[in-house]
Amino acid sequence: MKHLLSLHYTRLSARNLLHLFAHLSRWLAARKLDASALTSRQVSAFLRSRRRAGYTAKCSPRALEIVLEHLRGVGVIAPEVQIGPRSALERVLARYAEYLSQERALASSTIRQRLDTAARFFTKSSTRATIRALCVADVREFLRAMGRTRPKSLGGIGTNLRSLLRFLFAEGLVPRDLSAAVPSAPSWRDRTLPRGLASSDVQRMLASCDRRTLVGRRDYAILLLLARLGLRQCEVCGLTLDDFDWGRGVLTVRGKGKKIAELPIPRDVGCAISAYLLRRPRVVLRGVFLRVRAPYRPLRVIGRPIFTASQRAGIAPVWPHRLRHTAATEMLRRGASLAEIGYVLRHASTQTTVIYAKVDRHALRALVQPWPGAQS
């Protein structure tokens, strides 16, 4: 109980976890097993038996995490053994993951997507011999199959597949570069306008946060970081207490591709962050935005708080990246140049920022020509 209370669990939550611990002990005793015999397979079997017994709470592996962490900490059970890749396919995927992380410096979410595509592509190619025998027909067959099951994701799948095929050629696993066999998917990038929110909608979302509560202060600060500085979801989740230089008024942002940039902290953003930090749980974790209930862990995604705020505000569903567009269009409306917007949003290429030129109606008005034969 003392250990759980030291982790900031409430007494009710601590008692519930003790009941779970007791149930696990009875389950092990009934099978004449010691706690040291706990493995991933045994944990899965226990959770299945718990669900069969009619329990509806704490029936997932996540519920047992704190219990298993404690048992590992006191040396009752061994740490999880990390088994290295054994098959040829596993070795290729492990090398590909290392290449994407170390040489390409891609974000972890991008690496997961590319490895998922690679695993799907290699379903029937599990040896070096079959990988070396890959041909254009195999590439086209895979894309046709993906087009039938995941047509809306075909563009991203094609990008991931090109990356894999270039890697296989560079590593000498295939005799020629097959990436050219992947056709380009139709793109609507330059045919649509960035969808930013109106200032009134942003204010309604901010006003919907109850800043008398911890979760309200946290979500208010997250909303301001997205709408004022245009941070990405992964950048907000990755913020640590060390990233704020309050003396200089500067925020260090670790963006895509492991790039680091410094941005000024606007007054309203700084006040919101400070108000949240005053109520933030007193734990040793350095991540800024944490769960509001023990065990406290940094947030991995922030889509749900943003979506919930849009529901409270009575507007159409909003997700984090749309607030990034909102920050850009608001800067443009206030007279910022595309170069300045690109700096704040940390775009690697000016071509990415150019899409916001289409929403600069004041500048475009001077280019408008009357339609021939139209009546004014």
Backbone angles phi, psi at 227, to 5 degrees: -80, -25
Find the catalytic residue in 232, 280, 322, 325.
232
- Determine whether 356 is an active site residue: yes
Whether 204 contacts 310, CB under 8 Å:
no
Tokens 């942003």, residue located: 202
Find the catalytic residue in 254, 312, 321, 333.
321
Find the catalytic residue in 162, 211, 217, 324.
324
- Determine whether 258 is an active site residue: no
User: What CA–CA distance (Å, rounded) separates 63 from 17?
Assistant: 8
Find the catalytic residue in 23, 58, 256, 312.
256
Indicate the SS3 state at residue 88.
helix
| Integer angstrom CA distances of residue 364 from 12, 175, 255, 329, 358 | 61, 51, 32, 14, 8
Preceding omega of 295 cis (within 30 degrees of 0): yes
Of the candidates 122, 25, 6, the one whose C-alpha atom is nearest the C-alpha of residue 76 is: 25
- Determine whether 347 is an active site residue: yes
Give first-to-last CA distance, the chain, whole Å.
79
Backbone angles phi, psi at 308, to 5 degrees: -65, -40
User: What CA–CA distance (Å, rounded) separates 225 from 291?
Assistant: 18
Region for 58 from its dihedrals, namely left if φ exceeds 0, alpha if ψ lies in -120 to 50, beta otherwise: left
User: What CA–CA distance (Å, rounded) separates 56 from 134?
Assistant: 48
Find the catalytic residue in 9, 96, 276, 356.
356
- Determine whether 23 is an active site residue: no
Take residue 36 and report the two structure tokens written for it. 């040291």
- Determine whether 95 is an active site residue: no
Alpha helices by DSSP H, 53-170:
65-73, 88-98, 108-121, 128-132, 136-149, 154-170
How many CB atoms are closer than 10 A to CB 343? Answer: 14
- Determine whether 8 is an active site residue: no
Of the candidates 262, 210, 202, 250, the one whose C-alpha atom is nearest the C-alpha of residue 228 is: 202
By annotation, the residues acting in catalysis are: 232, 256, 321, 324, 347, 356
